[in-house]
Each structure stands twice: as structure tokens, then as C-alpha cells.
Amino acid sequence: MTTVGQTLPLAEAPSAGYPESHVPVTPVLSLASFGRGGERIPSVLDAGAARLVTSGRVAIALALREMGIGPGDAVLVPSYHCASMIEPVVWAGARPVFYRIRPDTSVDLIDVAAKLDADCKVLMATNYYGFPQDLVALRAFCDARGIALLEDCAHCFLGQHKGKPVGSYGDYAIASSMKFFPMYEGGVLVSARHSLAGVHLQPAGKGFEAKAAINTLEDSFAYGRLFVVRALLALPLWLKDVLWGRLKGRKESAPSLAPGSSDGGFGFDPRWLDKRSSLCSRLLLRLVSRPRMGALRRRNYLKLQAALHGLPGCRPLFATLPDGVCPWIFPLLVDRPQPLFRTLKMQGVPILRFGEYPWPGVDASVCPASADLSQRVLSFPCHQELREAELDWMISQIKDALLQRSATAP
């Protein structure tokens, strides 16, 4: 199985000695994905002109390119980050300047103002876990200082803030479709303020198109979805495995058919900058029900929140789930996270972590809150493709583990 858009290669890798997750970590395709129901929630695609690319990280690079960022420039980036946010900045030749966030993940504008110098052209701000920043304040701050705002909506494909869709406040915004939709690859570049007419995308080739479609199906089959389709495709997929094995077995390495981002790697590959997202992903972006996605993510999040409320040694990172927020995952702030992490991973409970591997030099002396969050937040999926029984199983495992360790705590 491929793990898409993951933020923790080591902990999710089978080589770490953990079994495969018993429930899908990221959304997997099922017939229900296309179902109706739920209220319409705005998305980044409603914010303005859009370009559908293969990942959020290449969308960041394209945004920087559109803004003319290059050597000699600096980009203000959060200390709480993943490498795929910083690599495009370095690729552009610019200097990342790490600013602090507060313990509630909000941008520390006092620190941003203190770090701002004449080289700084852009403020990158992330709406963590689906919860928008105070985007009105960030917009006003950038306008007052004549710098651009790059709104990182990788965690909030859907949602609104003060009556406008997420992604509307930035000069440019980016999203990671593969974090929300059952798809193998996909990212979005959006602008509510500037033309994207200069961004021309090319198809990435037949091999890539095939891989995107096949991997989407295989991820789905791995968790027992779409079994009728699976039966129909058994023979062609077997043939594909045989052919693939032959190709790989050859001396000369087969060309890379998909960006490293889609194979769970951390890589940023500039060759994917101008490549259009696959037909499969673009179709899914249109056909997968967004009202259902919004409603189920909120419902699953609230179920996790209610079930874990008051358990010892932890609390939800966010106290409430405001209207208009469509969460990416459910972040739980845990005391002594490592033993709990190990226990749950051994049981096949999926755990996502964000920001665990900060850019070299970005430690607690740069931002205590980021260092703390990157260690203590363990997140659980709340995506729309979790079945009721899967969610219940996951909750009971987490509950048991938390209660047991408090009973045996010294």
C-alpha cells in the first residue's frame, strides 16, 4: 500500500516494526465517496482562479515563482512546519526566516514583526489542522508592511473564515487535495487576487495517469472497499504487477512515474512543477461529494472529542470545533506521548504527527510552542471514509491505552 501525503515517514514505515494500520490512515475510495448529503461548505476552489497540480509543495513553489521570489529574498515561515513547506523556499533560492507560533497554533505577529527585515517579501501562514488563523489580522499586517501573504491551506481544503472561503485572504493559497480526497496525488494553487494566466501546466504522461488511477484503486482494495470493482480488475491488476516486476527487474532503472510526494517521501522535485494533476484525481475532485466530506469529518471529529474528553494525561489541542471548520485530523495533546504512541502503533491504530522533523536548527530556542507541539501532538484520522465500526474500534483502543497507563503510572 502507498501512503499518500504523509507527514511521518519513519513512524508509518513498516521498517519501524509496527504493523500496518487496521483502518485507513487517509481517505480511500468507495462508492459512498460519491454519495450526497450534507450542507455545502465552501472550499479553496471557491476562493479564486485555481491550477490543479500534483502536490501542495509544488503549489508553494509555483506561488513563490509567481511572486518573483529568488536569491536575496527571505520568506517568513512558521517554526511549526513540515519539510515540504520549506523545501520550495530553498529551491527558489530564498532564505527561510522562522517565526514563532503560540501554543494554540496562532501566528505570533509580535515575533513576525520583530523578524521582518528588508529582504522579507512573503509571510507564509498555515491554517493548522483545518482551523483558520486570524486571516483578517494577517491580511492587514501584510498590507501595512507591503509584503505578500501565502495562505497554506494544506490542512483545510474546505472551510470558511468570516464569510469568505479559506484561501481567499492570501495573495496566493495552496492546498493538498490528497490529504482530503481519496486520491493518489493532487495539490492546488489558488489566487483570489492575482491572475494565474502565466501558469501553464503540461500533462505528466500516460504512465503517470495509469499509476494515479491504479494506486487509487489499490489503496481502496487494501481496506476492503470497492470489492466488486476489485473482482473485475483482478486479472488486469495481476498483469500489471507482473509487467511492473519485469520493468523494475531490468538493469536500467525505470523512469519515475510519479512525484516523490505521492510515494510518501519528503522529496520536493522541481520537475513536477509544471505538471497537471492526473485525469483520475481531477475527476475525483469534481465527483467526490464535498458536502459529505465536510459533514462526516466534522461528525467523526466531534465523536473523537466527546469520547476522549476528560481522559487522563491528554486534551484536544483545540477546545471546540467552530462552525465552518472542516478538520483534517483530530490532534490530541498528550503528556508523555512516546509510550502511548508505541502502544497504539503496535495495535495497528493509525497515528499522524505533524512537524516532528523540523528544519535543521529550528528547536525550542527558536520557538518553544512549536517544539512542544511537534513532540506532544498525536493525531488520529477523522476522514470521511472511516466506517463507524473502524472509528469505534480506534476510539476504544485509545481510551483503553490512556486509562491503562494512568492506572499503572508511578
Ligand X SMILES: *Cc1c(COP(=O)(O)O)cnc(C)c1O
**Smallest distance, Å, CB 349 to ligand X?**
21
> Is 5 near ligand X (CB under 6 A)?
yes
Nearer to ligand X, 224 or 265 (CB): 265
Among 42, 48, 159, 187, binds ligand X (CB under 6 A): 187
> Is 105 near ligand X (CB under 6 A)?
no
* Rg of the chain (C-alpha set): 21
Cβ-contact 157, 177 below 8 angstroms: yes
Q: By C-alpha distance, which of 27, 64, 273 is closest to 157?
A: 27
**Smallest distance, Å, CB 333 to ligand X?**
18
CA dist., res. 357 & res. 266, Å (int): 11
Contacts with ligand X in 257-316 (CB under 6 A)? 261
Of the ranges 80-88, 129-137, 282-290, 389-397, which one interacts with ligand X (CB under 6 A)?
Answer: 80-88
Q: What is the DSSP string of 13-56?
A: SGGGTPPPPSS-SS----GGGG---S----BGGGSSEEEEES-H
Among 28, 82, 321, 334, binds ligand X (CB under 6 A): 82
The angle formed by the CA atoms of residues 388, 394 and 397, to the nearest 5 degrees, is 140
Q: By C-alpha distance, which of 35, 15, 1 is closest to 288?
A: 35
Cβ-contact 85, 131 below 8 angstroms: no
Contacts with ligand X in 110-129 (CB under 6 A)? 126
CA dist., res. 10 & res. 336, Å (int): 19
Among 105, 160, 176, 397, binds ligand X (CB under 6 A): 176
**Smallest distance, Å, CB 57 to ligand X?**
3
**Smallest distance, Å, CB 242 to ligand X?**
31
Q: What is the DSSP string of 84-104?
A: HHHHHHHHTTPEEEEEPB-TT
**Smallest distance, Å, CB 54 to ligand X?**
8
Among 12, 51, 52, 57, binds ligand X (CB under 6 A): 57
All cell numbers assigned to 333: 495533546
All cell numbers assigned to 356: 516532528
> Is 84 near ligand X (CB under 6 A)?
yes
In the stretch 126-145, what mask flags binding to ligand X with x, by CB under 6 A?
x-------------------
**Smallest distance, Å, CB 80 to ligand X?**
9
All cell numbers assigned to 362: 529550528
Among 122, 142, 154, 371, binds ligand X (CB under 6 A): 154
The residues that touch ligand X, with contacts defined as CB under 6 A, are 5, 7, 55-57, 82, 84-85, 126, 152, 154-155, 176, 178, 187, 261
